Amino acid sequence: MSSPSAIEHARQEPHAGEEKHRWWLGLAFTLAVGAVFVIGFTDLPREGAALPAVARHAMQIALPVWGQNEVVSEIVYGSRGFDTFGETFLLLAAVVAVTTLARPREPRAQYVGEASAGRDAESRYGGGDGGSGSQSQARRAEREESEDTREAPADADQEPLGTRAPERAVAMTLVVRLGARIAALILAVASIYLAAWGYTPGGGFPAGAAIAGVLILLYAAFGHRALSGAVRPGVLEPIELLGASAIIAIGLFGLLFKGSLFANFLTLAQPGTIRAGGTNQLYSGSELIEVATGLIIAVFSLLGMRHDWAADDADGDEGDAARDDASGAR
Amino acid sequence: MSAAELLPLPVVIPICGAVLSPLVVKLDRRLGLVVGIVAMLGTLATLLPIASQVYGGGGRVVVHYFSGERPFGGHELGIAFGADPFGMSFALLTAGLGVLLMIALLSELADLGKRELGGLSCLALLLLAALIGAALTADTINLFVWFEVAALASYGLTGFFLEQPPALEATFKAVVLTSIGGFVVFAGSAMLYSTDGALNFGQLHAALPHAPGRAELVALAFLVAGYATKAGLAPFHGWLPDAHAQGPAAVPALFSALMVDLGVIALVRIVLQVYGPVSAHRALGLLTALGVVSALLGALMALCQDDLKRLLAWDTISQVGILLVGFASATDEGVGGAVFHLVNHGLFKALLFLCAGVVVHVTGLTKLSELGGLARRKPVITGCFAVGALAIAGVPGLNAYASLGLIHDGLQHTPVILAGAVAAQAITVAVFARALWLGFLRPRARAYERLERTPRALGGVLVVLAVGTVGIGTVPYQLVRSVAAPAASIVLDPARYASALLHGGGSLVTTPIPFDYAKPEDLLLALLELVVGLVLAALWVRFGEPRPVTWLRRLHTGSVNDYATFVAGGLVLGAGVLLI
């Protein structure tokens, strides 16, 4: 190496000083990109232009070929079912990426070179032992929180009204909690209905998202600890992967019987009944399972993050798992 | 089953592995990655019979229509896979390297926690599946879907080593820039649908006029910008050096050897096979310019790096630039050479990144200035790194010499571009001469604080890749004749590809590529590059970087705002070039 100034670390090519926010520059580029959009959009076909041939074709075949009186569902689970297949695993990739990035430290058997390189980097730019002010503050808050929850009542309904509760969600009033209980039930039934009858555009995908929404509503009303018993990644993950496996199986059966992945291999029932649409309904139902569990896992693994990976002497390398077990046992 | 019926399986099999791996780790922590290895072997085994159809008998396009939706009157509502020699070459490379990289992951990380390993294996398999899907698909929206699957899987892999603070920062940069890329790709694909009513490449090619309208040009600008972000072309490259320096040894290898090529393949499909060289001649000029700039910038920046993985990441940007210059030349030699170089680059870049990963793994050090003396202490790793370095330098006898020579042949009529490519190559030689000297050959008196053993299987993978890199260099004529030539002819004949997609497949007419290994001017050029590169490396080590390069480095502030601005600037510039 020639001179120390040429040695830079992984973050920046040269070590730049403070980040400058040049709003006028950002605005200029944003406007320029907007202008490009406008130039393109003004050349698009106007409202009321003839539909493309493939769109007309989709409407013509929805009922006779796919047994669906909802064209969007026919596209999503029928004609372009393979795109939905890709989207399914896009969601799986997102869920696994989130759980990976939000995971607690697991015990590791062996020295890993990257970890020591990481400790190096950490000592260079803050964090770790001593670290920056904000980090130690966050740790202190974390510690206080875990001490606090120990004295909290088992669930919100045991909480005498009007007390300032340690968990913010527990401080929700009786009205909110009762409302959430009633609404959750109705929403859950409605979401399953969405997928089951398949007259709704999209079927299982939006229905799965709605079910995840129910859980988030309950979380908002009752707090994390009330739900953590019900939302166990160990249970949900296999269910999610089962939904994904069912989707793969539906595709492969189409390949086996019809020579084309995701071709319909079931006889079409009377349109408008629950089994109308042959494999589309199976596909939509499996999608419901996969999407609902996937979103719930992703959301709750983010909500459950209670640790950072900075080299903290307090919990050495036996990982957070040990601490989690201890708190789970309480 | 016929080849056409087998065609979806190379995507479905790794996805099955991805679903299984988080489940089987509950039984044994190693099983997830074992499933990954088996899945990639299965993928390779499924691809081979299809490949024999695609390359055999002068070449064919094998087509599979999903959901039983066949074309009607030149229109296609459903999704089609169209395996041509070009996409097939990348799919085979992905499956083959996928096996080796899964073995490398298992070998290096078998001692990690169960859930970590399950997630890692799942994400790696999803990424590989997405890359194969992108190589085979013939549908704009389906290509976008695979682009996104690859992106999401790559975020989890980039940030995998959470004990390294830079990992999350790199992930954040990748998320921001790739999301911008994904957004403009989708906008471009949707604009094309609303203008021409087509998602299928074949139908779209037939529907596009010879003189594209404003919306079609803006869509092209969007698609180029979006996929160039994935490919890491300058000025869309801000995320790449960070993201490709993170994670376990095999992850950057997977990114640099394979993932950036998703962008390259998509660019070639859209610009050459959907729009065609006539409608997109300006886009070809744009890609050539971006390619030359990337090649030079990447090589110069690689020459400044002290972090070994980061150096390789910058070199990836440079190599992607060279690839695009080859493809954008729209000549048989240039495109054939670029297809050949895509495969070569995959092999030696995987090799180099795995070597760098092993060095980090055994020493815990990442910086060239702190390394040295590895030649005596780790002769096998040094030997493998040297093979990769010599290959990338274009030394006659190794694989890249032939492919670079072909790309240079394709640039004969554009001397300025040729000079840029040759200069970039000379700087690349300097990059690897310097890295090899500082990291491996330089004597080192002090003992290392730690010097672990190389995991055995990982060493085996290195040797296999090194042998492959050398081996491919011994059969250039056969590869040019049976892989590069058919791939070039289908890329440069969009009408034939389009008709094959709409008629359930079709045969190719392959024009042979004139190729002479011992052409004196190619040999002289390679020699010149080597000499200039070695001199440059010696001067660089002795005197440090010249001032203009420092200015170039200052442009890369590491701020994601600045990098997003570069992307926006590149997008506006591209649209300007295409529209005006």
Task: Note the pLDDT tens digit of each residue in B511-553.
Answer: 889 888 888 888 888 899 999 999 999 999 888 888 888 888 8
Does the CB of B248 have a partner CB in chain A at under 8 Å?
yes
pLDDT at A167 over 60: no
Are the Cβ atoms of B66 and A3 closer than 8 angstroms? no
Chain A residue with minimum CA distance to B212: A43
Task: Indicate the average pLDDT of chain B.
Answer: 93
pLDDT tens by residue, B280-314: 999 999 999 999 999 999 999 999 999 999 999 99
Give the E-state strand segments of B337-419 in sequence order: none
CA B323 to CA A218: how far, in whole Å? 53
Are the Cβ atoms of B116 and A106 closer than 8 angstroms? yes
DSSP tally for chain B: helices H, then strands E = 27, 3
Virtual CA dihedral for A49, A53, A59, A60, nearest 10 degrees? 130
Q: Which of B30, B33, B4 has the alpha carbon at shortest distance from B18?
A: B33
- Amino acid residing at B299: A
Q: What ranges in chain A are assigned the alpha helix state H?
A: 23-41, 53-66, 71-73, 81-101, 113-124, 133-151, 174-197, 204-222, 224-228, 233-258, 279-303, 319-329
CA distances from A45 to B180, B208, B270 (A): 25, 15, 22
CB atoms within 10 A of CB B514: 11
Q: What is the pTM of this model?
A: 0.91
How high is the pLDDT of residue A171? 61
Per-residue b or e along B447-460, where b marks 16 or more CB atoms closer than 10 Å to that residue's CB: ebeeeeebbeebbe
The burial of B396, by beta-carbon neighbours within 10 Å (0-12 exposed, 13-18 middle, 19 or more buried), is given as middle
Does the CB of B214 have a partner CB in chain A at under 8 Å?
yes
pLDDT band at A49 (very low <50, low <70, confident <90, very high): confident
Give residues 305 to 334 of B whose Cβ lies within 8 Å of A. 306-307, 310
User: To which residue do tokens 């990348």 refer?
Assistant: B90
* Paired strand residues for B506: B61
Are the Cβ atoms of B215 and A43 closer than 8 angstroms? yes
pLDDT at B2 over 50: yes
pLDDT tens by residue, B243-252: 998 888 899 9
Per-residue b or e along A208-246, where b marks 16 or more CB atoms closer than 10 Å to that residue's CB: bbbbbbbbbbbbebbbbbbbeeebebeebbebbbebbbb
pLDDT at B254 over 70: yes
* Paired strand residues for B63: B82
User: Any residues with CB less than 8 A from the CB of A329 and at least 6 apart, and which?
Assistant: none
Does the CB of B145 have a partner CB in chain A at under 8 Å?
yes
* Paired strand residues for B200: B139
CA B468 to chain centre: 17
Are the Cβ atoms of A97 and B123 closer than 8 angstroms? yes
CB A63 within 8 A of CB A79: no
User: Any residues with CB less than 8 A from the CB of A16 and at least 6 apart, and which?
Assistant: B554, B557, B558, B559
Percentage above 90 pLDDT, chain B = 77
A43 contacts in chain B (CB < 8 Å): 195, 213-215, 218
> What is the arithmetic mean of pLDDT over A199-228?
85
A317-321, B415-419, B558-562: the lowest-pLDDT one? A317-321
pLDDT band at A275 (very low <50, low <70, confident <90, very high): confident
Is pLDDT larger for residue B518 or for residue A93?
A93
> What is the arithmetic mean of pLDDT over A130-139?
54
How high is the pLDDT of residue B202? 96
Is pLDDT larger for residue A312 or for residue B205?
B205
Cα Rg of chain A, angstroms? 26
How high is the pLDDT of residue B447? 84
How high is the pLDDT of residue B271? 96
- Amino acid residing at B565: T
Three-state secondary structure call for residue B251 = helix
CA B213 to CA B86: how far, in whole Å? 29
CB B153 within 8 A of CB B258: no
Are the Cβ atoms of B245 and A29 closer than 8 angstroms? no
pLDDT at A312 over 50: no
Are the Cβ atoms of A113 and B69 closer than 8 angstroms? no
Chain B residue with minimum CA distance to A49: B194
CA B518 to CA B512: how far, in whole Å? 18
CB atoms within 10 A of CB B55: 20
> What is the nearest CA distance from B27 to chain A, expressed in angstroms?
13
Are the Cβ atoms of A10 and B213 closer than 8 angstroms? no
* Paired strand residues for B75: B72
CA B85 to CA B483: how far, in whole Å? 7
